[in-house]
Amino acid sequence: MTHEPRIYLSPPHMGGREQVFVQDAFESNWIAPVGPNVDAFENELSEYVGSRGAVALHSGTSAIHLALRLLGVSAGDTVFCSSLTFVASANPILYLGAAPVFIDSEPHSWNMSPEALEAAFLDSMKMGQLPKAVVVVNLYGQSADYDAILQICDRYGVPVIEDAAESLGASYRGKKSGSMGKFGIFSFNGNKIITTSGGGMLVSNDLDALDKARFWSTQARDQALHYQHSEIGYNYRLSNLLAGVGRAQLQELDARVAARRNIFERYYAELSHIAGVSFMPEHQLGKCNRWLTALTVDPDVCGITATEIVTKLAERNIEARPVWKPLHLQPLFTGRRYYAHGSGISETLFSQGLCLPSGSNLTEYDQTRVIQAILGIMSAPTVLYQ
């Protein structure tokens, strides 16, 4: 055991100006899920992303829920969704009583495979039921390959929800991540590239749809003096205090992207020479924000598994994590349809993949600790420990 302090995977990183915005909220007494910070955060974020509008919400999950409902998803429908992702990408499909259909990754970006997507569409045509929407995830801060994906979805006339929870600040063909689909969603959870402690955003060019989302997110209260409701609503709006934190965080975003990319570059420089180790590639049309540095370890070449490395890093007080367990392997989704790319990509990424500490506030000293630990773990044959 080490007595060195714990190194976290992706801790919050405050810039310093957050308290100014929060103080403003206190002074004007806008301590509510409404107020000037909420409006300004929406404007500033949509301007950054290049979308016409945005709705600030209390989580990325609620943003996905509203996007699906805006696209008319309801009981009995199907929705396609990336399999290699966090469960929040698909849970809202279940909230609406619809059935998720999972799509594998392709090896160049680790994101949704256009080939598997096409297979899923062909099958759905045969079955006589096209999906109502496709949830495309930008994994670990890397944009999916939208040229290929949108071409397929447009051909079938099915809209895309871009789950950009992990990819704020990344881009694809020079366009900001989150602006590719009919709707884009972001998360400001504590572990994301910028945070409001908890929060999310729905973005789109369809301002009418965003107005509807804003209405649903505030209990769907009809215009009347008394309390009148004709539709189901939710309490999903972001607090004006937290929106203040978000505004200050957004000012730091480009610096955060640069910091995380530097962290990736250093891991790559110091670890990519190890036989059997491969880093998540950067797609040629995209620029990752490198939210998390992710890599795979081939146990046949390295003599150690990704899981063993995560465990041994934990013994050294370093938090690493396995790559997401694909949703089609989750007990929650047993029996759901799934379309693989070739013999399956996401399952291998899960069994061989891990994510390294990547916070934008990771010090050079702490990154050296992580690198030295991995070099030590990987050069020592595992049999010595057994």
Which residue among 30, 86, 183, 333 contacts ligand PLP (CB under 6 A)?
A: 86
Buried b (16+ CB within 10 A) or exposed e, 275-296: eebebbebbeebbbbbbbbbbb
Alpha helical stretches, state H, the chain: 18-28, 36-49, 60-70, 91-95, 114-127, 146-156, 207-217, 240-251, 253-271, 299-302, 306-315, 346-352, 364-379
Query: Is 192 labeled as catalytic in the residue annotation?
Result: yes
Residue 89 as a binder of ligand PLP (CB under 6 A): the answer is: yes
- Round to whole Å and give the CA distance between 380 and 386: 12
Residue 236 as a binder of ligand PLP (CB under 6 A): the answer is: no
Tell me which amino acid residue 48 is: Y
**Footprint of ligand PLP on 130-169 (CB under 6 A):** 137, 163, 165-166
Phi and psi of 314, rounded to 5°?
-60, -35
Min CB(119)–ligand PLP separation in Å: 23
Min CB(203)–ligand PLP separation in Å: 14
The strand pair at 133-137 and 160-163 is best described as parallel
Catalytic residue among 192, 212, 312, 325: 192
Q: Which lies closer to ligand PLP via its Cβ, residue 302 or residue 355?
A: 355
Angle, helices 240-251/253-271, rounded to nearest 10 degrees: 60
Min CB(128)–ligand PLP separation in Å: 30
Q: Which lies closer to ligand PLP via its Cβ, residue 213 or residue 374?
A: 213
Residue 60 as a binder of ligand PLP (CB under 6 A): the answer is: yes
Min CB(373)–ligand PLP separation in Å: 26
Do 146 and 82 touch, CB atoms closer than 8 A? no
Residue 248 as a binder of ligand PLP (CB under 6 A): the answer is: no
The strand pair at 133-137 and 78-82 is best described as parallel
Do 120 and 135 touch, CB atoms closer than 8 A? no
How many CB atoms sit inside 10 A of residue 24's CB?
Answer: 17
Which residue among 113, 143, 177, 189 contacts ligand PLP (CB under 6 A)?
A: 189
Q: Which lies closer to ligand PLP via its Cβ, residue 238 or residue 378?
A: 238
Instruction: Return the structure tokens found at 328.
Output: 């089609």
Tokens 């420990």 identify what position? 385
User: Cβ contacts of residue 255 below 8 Å, gap of 6+?
Assistant: 360
Min CB(202)–ligand PLP separation in Å: 12
Which residue among 10, 61, 143, 196 contacts ligand PLP (CB under 6 A)?
A: 61
Residue 85 as a binder of ligand PLP (CB under 6 A): the answer is: yes
| Total of chain residues touching ligand PLP, rule CB under 6 A | 14
Instruction: Return the structure tokens found at 100.
Output: 């998720």
Q: Which lies closer to ligand PLP via its Cβ, residue 234 or residue 302?
A: 234
Q: Which lies closer to ligand PLP via its Cβ, residue 103 or residue 165?
A: 165
- By CB under 6 A, name the binding residues for ligand PLP: 59-61, 85-86, 88-89, 137, 163, 165-166, 187, 189, 200
